Amino acid sequence: MTKTQIMAALSEKTGLGKKEVVDFMEKFVDLAYSEVKSNGEFVIPGIGKLVKVDRKARMGRNPATGETIKIPAKTVVKFRVAKATKDAIL
């Protein structure tokens, strides 16, 4: 589904206007970003959670030349799917 299709479907199911649904989703996403940035995780009940993870530095290989290179440490965001979601879908 595209973003427009998702917003239209939510609008139909909730009885809210499309503009209200879009506004709500934008605020929800902003909240998720700020919570992950400050607390390291944001839980979406029944779906999963966004988690900030620190990756260690490691050695890698340039696939074009085969040269060994050092990959620096960095922080990444991962999404962990909730067990309830896995059970419902699978």
Answer whether 0.85 is exceeded by the pTM. no
% pLDDT > 70, the chain: 100
% pLDDT > 90, the chain: 100
SS3 label, residue 52: strand
Distance of CA 61 to the CA centre of its chain: 28
Per-residue pLDDT tens over the stretch 1-31: 999 999 999 999 999 999 999 999 999 999 9
